Structure 1
Amino acid sequence: MQSPVTLAAARAHNFGTTSMLRSGHEDETYEEFSARFEKEFDGVQDVFELQRNLNNCFAYDLVPSVEVLTAALKAARRVNDFPTAVRVFEGVKAKVENPDQYKQYLESLEGLRVELGVALREELYPQEA
């Protein structure tokens, strides 16, 4: 039988140690990431969901695909949130590596942007651009 002091010492030792927990999840590919967020944005029903999904999407260390951004812009239109639609483009501008990539995204999304009536910040506030 162990003494109370020995038990207390054993508990104190275990208190500061943690067992290594391994996740059963594999790394997500870019295609899986895109499919997941397209689905998330397709299911958006309110502004909170839209903004939460955008925050989660842009938190990753990559730029979302054109398909994900299309779904996000359509979701912003569906919940009638013009400011968030403008911020989608601001998020892309902040995430890309150089201005040419941003221009490529703008070219790819130009038709949808015009269709939905989403202005860019540069168009709304030209003196700040």
Structure 2
Amino acid sequence: MQAFRTAARPLAFSARAVARPAALPVRYAHSAAESYDDFNARYADFFSNAQDLFELQRGLNNCFSYDLVPSQRVVEEALRACRRVNDFSTAVRVYEGLKEKTENATQYKQYVDETKALRDELGILLKEELYGSK
């Protein structure tokens, strides 16, 4: 009986190996090349139509997950969406995300300066303005 078990064992392992499906290549919907202008147009449109906080935050998560910095137009639409859903903290977090995504402080300052009029209009303060410069 001992000989039977050792003879059956290799067959069981080989049967498992055969039954296992081969790995298929993963294909993502966003894997097609998209230009920077198309990316910005897509997210500006997304934020201009966002109607609730969950949708807005999901869009911000997706937008900032790419290896690029969104344009000023996208940032402005995101800030307007923050105001539309009445969420001040998310508006402040948009600038925190920009600070992390930009390569240096000069680029971040340019975003802050270019959107100052809109920030004043919507009543949005930066984290630095709320808690002091760090």
- Counterparts in 2 of 1:20 and 1:83: CA distance versus 1, 3 Å: closer
Q: 1:18 Cα shift?
A: 2.2
Moved segments of 4+, more than 2 Å: 8-14, 18-26
- Counterparts in 2 of 1:22 and 1:102: CA distance versus 1, 3 Å: closer
Matches within 5 A, 1:9-48: 9=14, 12-13=17-18, 15-20=20-25, 26-48=32-54
Q: 1:108 Cα shift?
A: 1.0
Matches within 5 A, 1:24-103: 26-103=32-109
TM-score by length of 1: 0.84
The alignment partner of 2:32 has SS state of coil
- Report % sequence identity: 52
Gaps spanning 5+ residues in structure 1: where?
1-5
> Structure 1 CA distance, aligned partners of 2:16 and 2:118?
62
State the match for 2:120 in structure 1. Answer: 114
**Aligned-residue RMSD, C-alpha:** 2.2
Instruction: Report whether the alignment pairs 1:104 with 2:118.
Output: no
Report how many aligned residue pairs link the two structures: 123
